[in-house]
Amino acid sequence: MVSKCANPACEAPFRYFHKGKLFRLDKQTGYERRGLLGDERGAKKPMRRVEFYWLCDDCAKNMTLIFDPTSGVSVRHHLDSGVAA
């Protein structure tokens, strides 16, 4: 559940969907997780988990979220990520 801005340096609380920017990440958890849960029927597809992150209005003006499979989610300035402002 989203409770505050994804920027670790910001403490803005999440209150409304129309303020800021909401990000949705689909993460695959792999075949081994499905086996641990005892569901072998659909073993052809890895399980997926959806996570949501939110940037407040102030942070969303200058920043975006980047996902790297090895380091996870991080907040970057638009210029650092190659995304046009």
Model confidence over 17-33: pLDDT tens digits?
889 999 998 776 655 55
- Tens of pLDDT, residue by residue over 48-58, are 778 899 999 99
SS3 79: helix
How far are the Cα atoms of 49, 50, 56 from residue 25, in angstroms, in the given order?
8, 6, 17
Mean pLDDT estimate for the chain? 79
pTM: 0.68
- Decide if 29 contacts 37 (C-beta within 8 A): no
- Sequence-distant (6+) residues with CB within 8 A of 22 are 2, 52, 53, 54
